[in-house]
């Protein structure tokens, strides 16, 4: 994940402005039992690595069995989005309050690799509705100049958004605008997402869950 200041020609199209679709949106993407089980597993994390949740990533190869309910959701989502020649999915859990969005607009990429590779597809699964917190996908690609279009996708339970892996994107704040500071007032509901990026080749130094000591509460000992 490469964070970048949003560079867009003119004002961002925000509320009440129709935009051309840059992402495919699927509502009721997963069975409710799968959604509920994954959400319960995430709740067991409590505040573990809360501020680093967007940077705590794991790899699930196509030929490996899921290790817990979140990875079972990842595998189920891959059946809705997996591109050809994909070898697996990089995933992470996004947790934040929309009055204090912790990430800027960015390109998803192999941040530890020697080359700036991007996933074949990026995707975001929403667990709940919140005030603001839209996923904003632009038409900007690396080296192509400022964005000219933006699609804002509202968080809704069991909604899944899929878009090209080299597009500039980010999270809007509680006002539905590009975040530039922490907002005053109540923090509202926690925005919870599951981000799944599909790769032709495994991104550098991203561990499989079984190789990591992080987030062990997702798979408690039986």
User: Per-residue pLDDT averaged across 92-116, rounded?
Assistant: 94
pLDDT at 132: 96
Q: Rounded to an integer, what distance in angstroms lies between the CA atom of residue 112 and that of residue 96?
A: 24
Is 162 part of any domain? Answer: yes
Report how far Cα 182 is from the mean position of its chain's Cα atoms: 21
State whether the Cα torsion 89-92-93-95 is positive or negative.
Answer: negative
Q: Rounded to an integer, what distance in angstroms lies between the CA atom of residue 55 and that of residue 201?
A: 19
Give the model confidence (pLDDT) of 148-194 as tens digits: 999 999 999 999 999 999 999 999 999 999 999 999 988 999 999 99
Q: Rounded to an integer, what distance in angstroms lies between the CA atom of residue 40 and that of residue 193?
A: 13
pLDDT at 12: 44
Q: Rounded to an integer, what distance in angstroms lies between the CA atom of residue 76 and that of residue 70?
A: 10
Q: Rounded to an integer, what distance in angstroms lies between the CA atom of residue 47 and that of residue 190?
A: 12
Is 6 part of any domain? Answer: yes
Q: Where residue 66 sits, what CATH number does that domain have?
A: 2.60.120.620
User: Per-residue pLDDT averaged across 89-99, rounded?
Assistant: 97
Is 222 part of any domain? Answer: no
- The average confidence (pLDDT) of the chain is 91
Residue 69 has pLDDT above 70, yes or no: yes
Is 127 part of any domain? Answer: yes
Is 117 part of any domain? Answer: yes
User: Per-residue pLDDT averaged across 75-98, rounded?
Assistant: 97
Report how far Cα 53 is from the mean position of its chain's Cα atoms: 11
Residue 3 has pLDDT above 70, yes or no: no
pLDDT at 14: 43
pLDDT at 222: 63
Q: Rounded to an integer, what distance in angstroms lies between the CA atom of residue 159 and that of residue 156?
A: 6
Report how far Cα 83 is from the mean position of its chain's Cα atoms: 17
pLDDT at 148: 94
Phi, psi of 170 (to 5 degrees): -170, -170
> Has this prediction a pTM greater than 0.75?
yes
pLDDT at 6: 52
**In which domain, by residue range, is 81 found?**
2-180+187-217
**β-bridge partners, 162:** 24, 123
Listed residue (162, 193, 23) closest to 97, CA to CA: 193
Residue 142 has pLDDT above 50, yes or no: yes
Is 148 part of any domain? Answer: yes
Residue 2 has pLDDT above 60, yes or no: no
Residue 91 has pLDDT above 90, yes or no: yes
| Rg of the chain (C-alpha set) | 17
Is 128 part of any domain? Answer: yes
User: Per-residue pLDDT averaged across 44-62, rounded?
Assistant: 97
Domain count, the chain: 1
Which residues have CB under 8 Å from 79's CB, separation 6+? none
Residue 50 has pLDDT above 80, yes or no: yes
pLDDT at 104: 94
Helix or strand or coil: residue 74?
Answer: helix
Is 199 part of any domain? Answer: yes
């Amino acid at each position: 994940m490469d964070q970048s200041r949003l560079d867009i020609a003119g004002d961002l199209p925000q509320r009440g402005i129709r935009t051309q679709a840059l992402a495919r949106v699927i509502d009721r993407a997963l069975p409710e039992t799968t959604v509920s089980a994954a959400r319960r597993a995430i709740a067991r994390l409590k505040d573990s690595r809360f501020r680093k949740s967007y940077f705590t990533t794991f790899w699930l190869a196509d030929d490996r069995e899921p290790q817990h309910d979140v990875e079972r959701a990842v595998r189920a989502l891959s059946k809705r989005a997996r591109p050809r020649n994909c070898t697996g999915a990089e995933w992470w859990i996004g947790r934040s309050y929309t009055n204090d969005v912790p990430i800027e607009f960015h390109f998803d990429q192999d941040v530890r690799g020697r080359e700036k590779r991007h996933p074949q597809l990026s995707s975001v699964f929403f667990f709940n509705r919140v005030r603001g917190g839209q996923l904003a996908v632009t038409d900007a690609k690396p080296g192509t100049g400022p964005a000219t279009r933006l699609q804002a996708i509202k968080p809704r339970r069991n909604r899944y958004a899929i878009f090209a892996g080299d597009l500039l994107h980010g999270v809007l704040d509680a006002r539905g605008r590009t975040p530039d500071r922490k907002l005053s007032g109540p923090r509202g509901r926690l925005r919870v997402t599951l981000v799944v990026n599909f790769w032709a080749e495994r991104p550098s130094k991203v561990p499989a869950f079984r190789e990591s000591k992080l987030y062990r509460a997702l798979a408690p000992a039986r």
